[in-house]
Amino acid sequence: MGRAAYIRKRLLLMVFVLFGVTLIIFGMIHLVPGDPAFLILGDRATEAKATELRHQLGLDQSLPLQYWHFISGVFHGNFGMSLLYRQPVNSLVFRRVPVTFFLTGYAMVLTAIITLPISLWAATHRNKLSDHLIRAGFLFALTTPSFWLGILLILLFSLRLHLFPVAGYGESFTQHLRYLFLPSFTLSLQLSAVLIRNLRNGIINTLDSDFVRTARAKGLGNRTVLIGHVLRNALVSTVSIFGLQFGGLIGGTVVIETVFAIPGIGQLLFQSITARDYPVVQAITVITAFLVIVVNLIVDLSYSFLDPRVSYE
């Protein structure tokens, strides 16, 4: 199977996966206790007003009919109206999507900057003091809850050292880089902790391979061997793990955006779940699932570039 045929097959599977995601999230969100009508009306809520609001919002219809309206809207690119904000979900969600994309992209760049050199250093200095310190430090980052790690970074770098803002997103590109550094760094630390452990082991195993000894016997420099031969081969399994961890990275934005008051879809999702805003929750989940599927497809396609022996059979 060639690359083009493989992509077509994966795109077809994507449709079925997204359909399954819509079905599961629709069922789960309607199992959450609480009446959206009473939450929206607040202190003014009465049974009569709640009944009238349910009728206006279509919440008095049967669940199969509500799901049909939802899924037909999805296939037409229309996620309906927000129950809480009373505005189209498309405009509400998609104006926040770039914020979360910037945050996750920033975290991915920081993850690469952290993972590659530290993994190489730990592998080439295995079982030495620096290797033990690296593994212990990132084990701490991995086992620390992200919200607490974010608060620690705020206390140190924002309130004590005054290097970065406590919260917000900024207005210009340079402000985005400054405002989102701490939340992106928080996300990248936990992802790097997983990747460093895997890449370090991969580099150590690759260093003992015959082709590495052959490359050194040919007189190639140590840097050329490490970057061109060892790292490229060791990255295959690490890239695979990154694809599996990407969903967790996106999920982590819900907590991080809430801690750092970032106006992205993660913060909106948290608010919408609390308010039982079904259309918004469903839209964010579908968009996130689509993004995760696309990233995993890109990861799968990258294998053949890292290792030409990989085929799509």
Over residues 139-194, the pLDDT tens digits come to 888 888 888 888 898 998 988 888 888 888 888 888 889 999 999 999 998 888 88
Q: When comparing pLDDT for 4 and 116, which is higher?
A: 116
Q: What is the rounded CA–CA span in Å between residue 138 and residue 196? A: 8
Angle of CA points 251, 263, 105, to nearest 5°: 55
For the segment 98-137, what is each residue's pLDDT rounded down to a tens digit?
898 899 889 989 998 998 889 888 888 888 888 889 888 8
pTM score, whole prediction: 0.78
Domain ranges, ordered by start, for the chain: 3-94, 97-263
Flag the least confident range among 193-197, 259-263, 293-297: 293-297
| Phi and psi at residue 309, to the nearest 5° | -75, -15
Sign of CA dihedral 297, 303, 308, 313: negative
Rounded to an integer, the average pLDDT of 250-269 is 86
Residue 311 pLDDT grade (very low, low, confident, very high; cuts 50, 70, 90): low
Residue 40 pLDDT grade (very low, low, confident, very high; cuts 50, 70, 90): low
* Average pLDDT of the chain, as a whole number: 80
Cβ count within 10 A of residue 238: 24
pLDDT of residue 268: 87
Percent of the chain with pLDDT over 70: 82
pLDDT of residue 312: 55
* Residue position matching structure tokens 């290797």: 131
Structure tokens at 280: 């918004």
pLDDT of residue 185: 93
DSSP 225: I
Rounded to an integer, the average pLDDT of 287-312 is 70
Percent of the chain with pLDDT over 90: 6
Rounded to an integer, the average pLDDT of 53-81 is 75
Contacts of 86 (CB under 8 A, 6+ apart): none
Contacts of 49 (CB under 8 A, 6+ apart): 37, 41
CATH 3.40.50.300 fits 97-263, yes or no: no
pLDDT of residue 125: 84
For the segment 15-39, what is each residue's pLDDT rounded down to a tens digit?
788 788 888 877 777 776 666 666 6
pLDDT of residue 106: 92
Is pLDDT above 70 for 42? Answer: no
Q: When comparing pLDDT for 236 and 134, which is higher?
A: 134
